[in-house]
Amino acid sequence: MHVLGIETSCDETGIAIYHSDKGLIANDLYSQTEMHARYGGVVPELSSRDQILKTLPMIDTLLDKSGLKRTDINGIAYTRGPGLAGALHVGAMIGRSLAYSLRVPALGIHHLEAHLLAVMLEVDSPTFPFLGLLVSGGHTALIRVDQFGQYHLLGETLDDASGEAFDKTARLLGLAYPGGRLLSELAQSGDADRFKLPRPMLNRPGLDFSFSGLKTAVAQLVPTLTLDDQTKCDLAASVQAAIVDVLVVKTQRALNQTALKTLVVAGGVAANQLLRSNIKSMAESEGARLYVPRPAFCTDNGAMVAYLGCQRLLTGESDDMDASVLPRWPL
Ligand code: KG4
Ligand code: ZN
């Protein structure tokens, strides 16, 4: 069964084709970063207009490249939420209409569930149950995944998400959008010990996170500094270290509390090299096995949507003609 995956939840158009036996056949991504960079963040209206221009041509190009025709598609999965309403609508309307015209089923997919299971696209993938650390631009959560479709929230952020913490502090440093990746690049040449930044919630029990205090600390620190190149790198390294420390310690606590020995890290921030290496060391010290998707499957992509859609369609799941989207949708 060939499943077409469509991801249009924010500022990227992700298209992929996943085959139930052969695995991932093709995957393509278009990023609107350049378009939004001049505004310092995503402009929702521009995002949805661009999704309209890109989605259908990208689907046809990907089918062409794969030697497939539209009629070879047996099912369609698109991101239904959470995300930007307008951008989601584009994927939902195109996915539904295409499925209707081809007389195949279509399914609306939960973006965070797709992130959490993106690791299954890798040859080396985990078995259930596992502990999931989900770190994206809008969400930060620790989730116990008992099996496919069974998720228990153990802790989450009370304010900013970790990706937001990266992006907002990057902005305070004068970096272009999207700041997270740029900040982590600067951090490579910085001294993480130069600035002592808070590690919010670390000394409190529980598995919840909070990152807004870190942002405030950086906002108060920046006007007192001369932001030369080295200072920017040092501050970037100090911010990155603070965020990663909090994520690693809380995840370690969750491993201990749940006694789970399998750990998955997912979402855009999981592309961060310091997080990947520090969480690996922590997992080893806990005797746990770590699984993290390749960086391109940590950030938004169509492959995770096609994969999850395929699994759901294989279980016989299908929904009616409802093309509504859910911009806010708890997992
Ligand atoms: O999962 P994702 O691509 O989109 C959402 O669902 O939100 O995550 C995007 C987030 C952004 O906040 C971005 O700055 C962050 O992931 N991010 C990174 C890195 N790459 C992406 N943060 C830190 N280091 C990176 N290398
Ligand atoms: Zn995402």
From the CB of 267, is ligand 1 less than 6 Å away?
yes
From the CB of 79, is ligand 1 less than 6 Å away?
no
Mean pLDDT estimate for the chain: 97
- At 63, the pLDDT band (50, 70, 90 cuts) reads very high
Q: How far is the CA of 154 from the centre of ligand 2 (A)?
A: 20
Q: How far is the CA of 15 from the centre of ligand 1 (A)?
A: 19
Whole-number pLDDT of residue 34: 94
Q: How far is the CA of 301 from the centre of ligand 1 (A)?
A: 12
From the CB of 181, is ligand 1 less than 6 Å away?
yes
From the CB of 269, is ligand 1 less than 6 Å away?
yes
Whole-number pLDDT of residue 319: 77
**Does residue 331 surpass a pLDDT of 80?**
yes
Beta partners for residue 107, in sequence order: 77
From the CB of 240, is ligand 1 less than 6 Å away?
no
Q: How far is the CA of 106 from the centre of ligand 1 (A)?
A: 28
Whole-number pLDDT of residue 327: 94
C-alpha distance across the termini of the chain, in Å = 27
Nearest CA to ligand 1 atom 21: 268
- pLDDT tens digits for range 271-324: 999 999 999 999 999 999 999 999 999 999 999 999 999 999 999 887 778 899
From the CB of 190, is ligand 1 less than 6 Å away?
no
Cα–Cα distance, 164 to 167 (Å, whole number) = 5
Whole-number pLDDT of residue 321: 80
From the CB of 180, is ligand 1 less than 6 Å away?
yes
Residue 330 CA: distances (Å) to CA of 110, 130, 151, 246, 327: 9, 20, 11, 23, 10
DSSP secondary structure letter of residue 322: -
Q: Which ligand is nearest to the CA of 7?
A: 2
Residue 182 CA: distances (Å) to CA of 170, 171, 175, 246: 8, 10, 7, 20
**Does residue 80 surpass a pLDDT of 90?**
yes
Whole-number pLDDT of residue 178: 85
Please give the average per-residue pLDDT across 116-131, as a whole number.
Answer: 98
Q: Which two tokens stand for residue 269?
A: 């921030």
Please give the average per-residue pLDDT across 70-92, as a whole number.
Answer: 98
- pLDDT tens digits for range 240-249: 999 999 999 9
- pLDDT tens digits for range 136-157: 999 999 999 999 999 999 999 9
Nearest CA to ligand 1 atom 24: 272
Letter for the amino acid at 84? Answer: L
From the CB of 11, is ligand 1 less than 6 Å away?
no
From the CB of 55, is ligand 1 less than 6 Å away?
no
Whole-number pLDDT of residue 203: 87
Residue pointed to by tokens 């939004």: 36
Name the phi and psi angles at 58, rounded to 5: -65, -35
Out of 84, 133, 181, 246, mutate this one to test ligand 1's pocket (max ligand atoms within 8 Å of CB): namely 181
- pLDDT tens digits for range 14-28: 999 999 999 999 999
Please identify, by atom number, the ligand 1 atom nearest to the C-alpha of residue 185. Answer: 26
Nearest CA to ligand 1 atom 20: 181
**Does residue 169 surpass a pLDDT of 90?**
yes
Please give the average per-residue pLDDT across 172-192, as a whole number.
Answer: 95
Cα–Cα distance, 90 to 108 (Å, whole number) = 12
The helix or strand, by DSSP H or E, that contains position 234, with its residue range, turns out to be: helix 229-258
